[in-house]
Amino acid sequence: MSKLHAIVIGGGMVGAACADALALNGVRVTVLEPEPIGGGATAAGMGHLVVMDDSPAQLALTARSLELWEALARDLPAQADYRACGTLWVASDNEELEAVEPKRQAYLAAGRGATLLDAAELARAEPNLRPGLAGALRVPGDSVVYAPVVAQFLLERAGATVRRGAVTELIEGGVRLASGESLHVDLVVVANGIGAVGLLPGLPLRQRKGHLLITERGVASLHPVQVNHQLVELGYLKSAHGGDEDSVAFNVQPRPTGQLLIGSSRQFGRPDREIDWPLLRRMLRRAAEFLPALAQTSALRVWTGQRCASPDHLPLIGPHPDLDGVFLATGHEGLGITTALGTAEVLAAQLFGGFSELLAHDFTPARFGRMPEAVHA
């Protein structure tokens, strides 16, 4: 009996994780990607592996995904730069610190570690933060990773055939490429982030643009600003989900090279890749409010990326309601790297009937109601 053959559209972290899960279940996989592997939203992100608790479903997906990342880490190449540095959710004042207790309890209920640090403990943990901060929530299991390397690793492990090519259309039982070639398979997984909207215009997804900056390389011990954890202000949560206005938040990550990766910003309705300099200045001023010595640090590079956001901030994982043989794995917003492995687990359980505790939550596209059909040839 011949193997099932699947096409995965998208060679980013989510697509690679799905390809790996399909291959582990005996499926022959072809990945279609017009750009370098992991070169889109995967390369544009911070690679922060973080448990988030905006909803029970998000908490379950991120917590399970962190377990899967911890299991995968032992097999990753050194170039993946996987590091369990943990996250400090920094409280500017006592009101923020007191309000973080439900978050701590949610993490503990999900089996993740989380401890409160008072002002003195925070100062010892991160001496370069400005004085006067109230404390922090420390989540020791969070990590950072260089995701493009992991995407390549998973595709090689899967034995996937990788083809450079842009998909322009979903057709009955397959896809059509920009070259005009049609490919027919048993199963198509749409995992190309916001590019999914170009193939399926009815999807409830929209773009969210973000800026990142990385500082110059240097010897870590001589760097003017040393950071030990991923640092995020608790105001990030309000910024991330509080509305459609342009926003910035303090988010700094240490890299093995001694560099700092600095974020973050959010803009909806900006599909371009241009740098918004006023917004970038706002972002850096915000970062320097928490880490004053950043003013002594030079930037090496600035770039933008496009996330893919759904109305409830949860990804779309599962069968398209109207198209047989078409599955979705998109809409991860800023959590695509974190939740890629959990997404792949959900997809595999849906397809092959395996167990996943994540099936207790509805990640299917059908939750948004019937979507308009794609245009067929």
* Higher pLDDT, residue 153 or 243: 153
Are 232 and 249 contacting, i.e. CB atoms less than 8 angstroms apart? yes
**In CATH, what number is assigned to the domain containing residue 114?**
3.30.9.10
Task: Identify whether 79 is part of a domain.
Answer: no
If asked whether residues 33 and 164 sit together in one domain, one would say: yes
What is the pLDDT confidence band of residue 369, given thresholds at 50, 70 and 90?
confident
Sequence-ordered list of residues with C-beta below 8 angstroms from that of 323, at least 6 positions apart, any chain: 170, 373, 374
If asked whether residues 128 and 101 sit together in one domain, one would say: yes
CA angle 117, 122, 128 (to 5 degrees): 165
CA angle 139, 150, 299 (to 5 degrees): 70
| Total of domains in the chain | 2
Task: Tell me what pLDDT residue 222 has.
Answer: 56
| Residue 376, pLDDT above cutoff 50 | no
What's the mean pLDDT when you consider all of the chain? Answer: 92
| Residue 371, pLDDT above cutoff 90 | no
What is the pLDDT confidence band of residue 296, given thresholds at 50, 70 and 90?
confident
333: helix, strand or coil: helix
Are 306 and 193 contacting, i.e. CB atoms less than 8 angstroms apart? yes
Task: Identify whether 375 is part of a domain.
Answer: no
If asked whether residues 121 and 245 sit together in one domain, one would say: yes
Task: Identify whether 324 is part of a domain.
Answer: yes
- Residues of the chain above pLDDT 70, percent: 93
Sheet holding 87-91, edge to edge: 115-118, 135-139, 87-91, 230-233, 247-254, 260-268, 206-215, 299-309
Rg of the Cα atoms in the chain:
21
Domain, as residue range, for 109: 87-140+206-309
* Higher pLDDT, residue 220 or 329: 329
What is the pLDDT confidence band of residue 257, given thresholds at 50, 70 and 90?
confident
**In CATH, what number is assigned to the domain containing residue 321?**
3.50.50.60
Task: Identify whether 76 is part of a domain.
Answer: no
If asked whether residues 326 and 305 sit together in one domain, one would say: no
Q: For residue 239, is the peptide bond before it cis, meaning its omega torsion is within 30 degrees of 0?
A: no
If asked whether residues 200 and 236 sit together in one domain, one would say: no
If asked whether residues 126 and 226 sit together in one domain, one would say: yes
- Long-range CB contacts (within 8 A, 24+) of 221-225: 222/258, 223/258, 223/260, 223/297, 224/293, 224/296, 224/297, 225/128, 225/260, 225/291, 225/293, 225/294, 225/296, 225/297
If asked whether residues 344 and 289 sit together in one domain, one would say: no
Task: Identify whether 167 is part of a domain.
Answer: yes
| Residue 374, pLDDT above cutoff 60 | no
Encode pLDDT of 280-292 as tens digits. 999 999 999 999 9
Task: Identify whether 258 is part of a domain.
Answer: yes
If asked whether residues 102 and 235 sit together in one domain, one would say: yes
Selection from 183-187, 253-257, 258-262 with the highest mean pLDDT: 183-187
Task: Identify whether 80 is part of a domain.
Answer: no
Q: Which residue among 269, 294, 309 closes a domain?
A: 309
Task: Tell me what pLDDT residue 169 has.
Answer: 96
Whole-prediction pTM: 0.92
If asked whether residues 24 and 101 sit together in one domain, one would say: no
If asked whether residues 199 and 231 sit together in one domain, one would say: no
If asked whether residues 213 and 133 sit together in one domain, one would say: yes
If asked whether residues 170 and 287 sit together in one domain, one would say: no
